[in-house]
Amino acid sequence: MKVRVDPDKCQGHNRCYSLAPELFDVDDYGYATAAGDGTVPAELVGKAKLAAANCPEFAVIIDDEG
Amino acid sequence: MAAADARPPVEDWATDYDIFDPSYCSDPGPIWADLRDRCPIAHSERWGGSWLPTRYDDVAEMARLVPALSSVEFIVVPPVPLRDPETGEVLRARPYAPPISSDPPFHGVARRLILPAFSPQAVAAHEPYTRELAHRLIDGFVGEGGCDGAVDFAQQIPPRVIAHLMGLDENRGDDFIQWVRGILELGATDPELRVATGLKMFAFWAEEIAKRRAQPGDARGSGGVPHGDFISWLLAGDLDGQPVDDNHAMSVCNLLLIAGIDTTWSSIGSALWHLATHPDDRQRLVDEPELLPTAVEEFLRVYSPVTMGRLATEDVTVDGVTIPAGSRVLMNFPAANRDPGQFPDPDTVVIDRAHNRHVAFGIGIHRCAGSNLARMEMQVALSVFLERIPEFHLADTRGPHLPPGTPDPTVIWAGGQVRGPRTLPLTFSTAH
């Protein structure tokens, strides 16, 4: 599983970062990107889904589900 | 509120709503549920006239109708011109508070100027102060067996944290509280008070800015992250290559003080009200403090404090309702957050609600710039309160289960632009 953040949708709510700081980075302006190449370790799959389900902008996207 | 009591009662909320009606301030949920089912965008001629969406999808769509729904008028009542008391010169035809009052493209420029001061990293620098402040406030009443959770605690935190962030004297906190109430709360229904308060704030900022122009304060920080003297940092910034002039700086400072204070104190107060009236949730947070971050988001959802204004610059049709150009629109984020189409069992606080795309901080380009600061203040305030005073109750002996529509006489809720408890009498054991 991988996560990514759609930069056109992210408005810097930082909900993903506060729920799953292991999986996201934020820049000086508060906009989020996936940490590293976005690969989600097995033990963080739940957190990745949580981050996606809490983004008010639908900007957190999960790829390669399963 | 004498003026509010003098108004005719609302007979049909769909066509005649009153956002300052005490019943709307104290318990708007049933009103929104009714409107959401049968309306869904209400209209009222009261308070200058406005339109009020109630569904999540409608609010989200409207937040993205930029600039058809413009932010040039962002308060929920018509603006009053701010005049120089001596010359009569119009200083401001309407509130100017970039970026909240800006549309693109200037909005993005004004927003980039301030965002670094509110990133998670920058906000973390203010956490130790916030924690120390929360303890200090509790030291003041913990031996008394009771306190006003709104006045003695919730209300005291944001003005001092924002003073700390901006490099202002913390001891001016009580003035800041009065100013913010004069603009947003009491001033919402009292234009004269709003103007008088606005002039006081202008004079204050003029002095603070002049001081720092003459001698910049220490705006130190790593990687451009300011956590010293915000005003000096602001003055040293740029707007797309242009220097920040006094007018812009003053407007930003005004915005920070107003937007950063009673919003957050309302959120802290509402959360304390909830915990005082829901012992199971309170005990669960005492037993499982790791749930606090999720709980804070849930408090923000159910007790969203802020409604923002927009001005329709053209006819806009949303959900089958056409809003004519020139109309005021109230971005009803609090009602969106209670929409059963988005949130199962929407009126219930679920401490560990996993799916929570709440829009308490708005949505789209105007997402609250201070949301990370507010979130930090709420988490620290509530965690310290629960740690020091793990068991507390409303002082009203009748408890929370009043008949629907009956305002609890011991808890007074303000509403309109910002909803939250202004008095919250709590009792607790002095054994803590």
pLDDT digits (tens, 9 = 90+) for B353-362: 999 999 999 9
pLDDT over 50 (residue B222): no
**Domain total of chain B:** 1
pLDDT at B431: 67
Query: Which whole number is the average pLDDT over B242-270?
Result: 95
CA distance B175 to B384: 25
pLDDT over 80 (residue B405): no
Residue with tokens 């199971």: B280
In this prediction, residue B187 has a pLDDT band, given cuts at 50, 70 and 90, of confident
pLDDT at B75: 92
At B213, which CATH number?
1.10.630.10
Cβ contact, residue pair A56, B363, below 8 Å = yes
**Within-domain flag for B318:** no
H-run or E-run covering B65: none
Residue B247: phi, psi to the nearest 5? -60, -45
Write out the residue range of the structural domain in which residue B262 sits.
62-310+356-395+410-427
Q: What pLDDT digit, counting tens, does each position of B55-73 carry?
A: 999 999 999 999 999 999 9
**Within-domain flag for B124:** yes
Query: Which whole number is the average pLDDT over B369-390?
Result: 98
C-beta atoms surrounding B224 within 10 Å: 13
Interface with A, mutate which of B64, B107, B111, B115 (most A CBs under 10 A): B115
pLDDT at B226: 57
Write out the residue range of the structural domain in which residue A54 sits.
2-63
Of A11, A26, A54, the CB nearest to B357: A54
Query: Which whole number is the average pLDDT over B16-41?
Result: 95
pLDDT over 60 (residue B2): no
Best CA proximity match to B282, nearest among B267, B265, B299, B266: B299
Residues 6+ apart with CB under 8 A from B81: B90, B92, B93, B94
| Cis preceding-peptide flag for B120 (omega within 30 of 0) | no
**Within-domain flag for B27:** no
**Within-domain flag for B19:** no
pLDDT at B1: 43
pLDDT over 80 (residue B227): no
Answer for the pair B313, B319: CB distance below 8 angstroms, yes or no.
Answer: no
- Mind telling me how many Å the CA of B389 is from chain A's nearest CA? 26
Cβ contact, residue pair B354, A53, below 8 Å = yes
| pLDDT tens-digit profile, chain A (66 residues) | 999 999 999 999 999 999 999 999 999 999 999 999 999 999 999 999 999 999 999 999 999 755
At A59, which CATH number?
3.30.70.20
Query: Which whole number is the average pLDDT over B216-241?
Result: 77
pLDDT over 80 (residue B219): no
* Chain A residue set in contact with B, beta carbons under 8 Å: 11-15, 17-19, 26-30, 50, 53-58
Q: How far is CA B375 from the centre of its chain?
A: 12
In the predicted model, what is the mean pLDDT of chain B?
92
In this prediction, residue B220 has a pLDDT band, given cuts at 50, 70 and 90, of low
Give bridge partners of residue B50 from the DSSP assignment: B44
Give me the interface pTM, i.e. the ipTM.
Answer: 0.95
Cβ contact, residue pair A18, B356, below 8 Å = no
pLDDT at B221: 54
pLDDT at B93: 87
Q: How far is CA B386 from CA B143, B372, B392, in A?
A: 15, 21, 9
C-beta atoms surrounding B353 within 10 Å: 20
How many CB contacts within 8 angstroms connect chain A with chain B?
56
From first CA to last CA, the distance across chain B in angstroms is 37
The packing angle between helices B292-302 and B371-388, to 10°, is 110
Residue with tokens 């901006």: B166
Q: What pLDDT digit, counting tens, does each position of B283-304 carry?
A: 999 999 999 999 999 999 999 9
**Within-domain flag for B323:** no
Residues from chain A contacting residue B118 (CB–CB below 8 Å): 30
Residues 6+ apart with CB under 8 A from B166: B229, B230, B231, B253, B256, B257
Range with lowest mean pLDDT among B98-102, B133-137, B197-201: B197-201
Answer for the pair B69, B310: CB distance below 8 angstroms, yes or no.
Answer: yes
* Chain B residue set in contact with A, beta carbons under 8 Å: 112, 115-116, 118-121, 223-225, 293, 297, 354-359, 361, 363-365, 367, 371-372, 375
Q: Token pair for residue B244?
A: 């920040």
